[in-house]
Amino acid sequence: MSLRKLPEIKAFKALSNMEWQPRTDVVDRWNAGIHAATSDEASISILGEIGGGDYGDGVTSKRIAGALRSIGERDVRVDINSPGGDFFEGVAIYNMLREHKAKVTVNVLGLAASAASVIAMAGDEIKVAKTGFLMVHNAWGITIGNRHDMQAAAAMMEPFDRAMRDLYAERSGSKAEDVEAWMDAETFFTGEDAVKTGLADGYLSDAEIEQDKDSGKRASAIAKIEASMAAQGLSRRERRSLLAELQGGLTYRLLTSCRALTSSPRFAATPKN
């Protein structure tokens, strides 16, 4: 088990008509080019969207489980720069790290938002860049359906929010009502604020972080396009198909599809939580 007695987050049942996606405003603040200056066989990189399933290239619990098996019962370092994503994948990764039998050090290199901030809480020691951010908010997803589907989605998300509230409160030593206020306000904690509130233990040095500006700009741009398409109601399969065509050179078709979203009744009326 972890050196800290961190709370387990129980498994939840997902709705079939609901998708988890990083928020557009969070993706806008994510610098995808930030990464660790060094890595070794006992380090794990969580750089990018949490989840992604069969159609994405995000960070999945399956990949993290494989990495932990390879590391074995040794101290592990987890480097995070992620805008969040799939809540269920985030919870699964958090629980895996929580159950690791040696010390877990989490380094927040750039951003740990939403599901990624849940993962970060699994650290026995959490270090954050002074220029980095931890972001917390209530569960956020995209649901398609009628009013009954909307009500079911709202009811389903309540225990998620309670689980996150209790985790942040336990990790920081803060009162539950204060944490609820953070989540309601969709709070971005600077590195300094994260340490002051107890969500992190200390700072990373500049020498521990590097930035690849060219690849980072490309990855951030793709993430912003996908987040915008998701907010308009496109399924993950549709988004990934269009992005694959873009990367294959069919730019015009993607741009035409994006412009059509703003006038399409199907997507303009899509409700989301």
Counting every residue written for the chain, the total comes to 273
Options 114, 117, 172, 220, the catalytic residue:
114
182 phi and psi angles, rounded to 5 deg: -60, -45
Residue 114 is among the residues annotated as catalytic for this protein: yes
Residue 189 CB neighbours (<10 A): 23
Amino acid at 86: D
Amino acid at 139: A
Provide the CB-side half-sphere exposure for 134 (13 A, CA): 30
Options 117, 137, 172, 220, the catalytic residue:
137
Which residue(s) pair with 34 in the sheet?
A: 211
Amino acid at 7: P
Residue by residue, DSSP assigns 81-120 as EE--B-HHHHHHHHHHHHT-SS-EEEEEEEEEETHHHHHH
Cite the active site residues: 114, 137
